[in-house]
Structure formats: structure tokens, C-alpha cells
Amino acid sequence: MRNVVENKKKQPPFQLFFLKSDENQNVEVTEADEIDFEEVKSRLERGESIFITRKREQKADINFIAYELIKEPWYLLRS
């Protein structure tokens, strides 16, 4: 019999990718429990693009992974 131990530490559910409009096209990645739409608005006004997705939970054993329906991520681009 195999015992499975769950990690009770909650991971932030969102990942935000800030695509900068600089020479090197740098990308800043942050994780958050909530989306700060004021920051999103501010970064869009600076010409950055933003990609927002939900972070998937990691399982201890690949045999126990239940595949869930993948929802479309959000991609915001200032036009």
C-alpha cells in the first residue's frame, strides 16, 4: 500500500507575464492570489503586453494526475 502525502501549502493561483516593450523584449513573471487590475492598466498604458493564466497544481505522482479541461488564458495587448 502506498501513502500519498499532500502538500498543504497553498500556491498562488495566477501567473502574470509582463512583456516589456524594451530593446531586449524582457519578460517579468509574477505569481499572485489576486489580479491587481490597476497595475495591469498602468502597464498597458506604458506599452507592455500582459499574459495571465491560472497556475496548475503539481501532483506528487504522474499516475495520479487528473487531466482537467484547459481554459483559454487571457492575453491583453494595448492597441
Mean pLDDT computed over every residue of the chain: 76
63 lies in a domain?
A: no
pLDDT at 60: 52
Query: How far, in Å, CA of 20 to CA of 29, rounded?
Result: 11
66 lies in a domain?
A: no
The average pLDDT across 9-32 equals 87
Contacts of 62 (CB under 8 A, 6+ apart): none
64 lies in a domain?
A: no
Q: Say which DSSP state 62 is in.
A: G
Residue pair 44/78 in contact by the 8 Å Cβ criterion: yes
1 lies in a domain?
A: no
48 lies in a domain?
A: yes
Q: Which domain holds residue 42?
A: 11-55+71-79
pLDDT at 76 over 60: yes
19 lies in a domain?
A: yes
Query: Confidence band (pLDDT; 50, 70, 90) for 1?
Result: very low
Query: How far, in Å, CA of 16 to CA of 42, rounded?
Result: 14
34 lies in a domain?
A: yes
Count of domains forming the chain: 1
Query: Confidence band (pLDDT; 50, 70, 90) for 11?
Result: confident
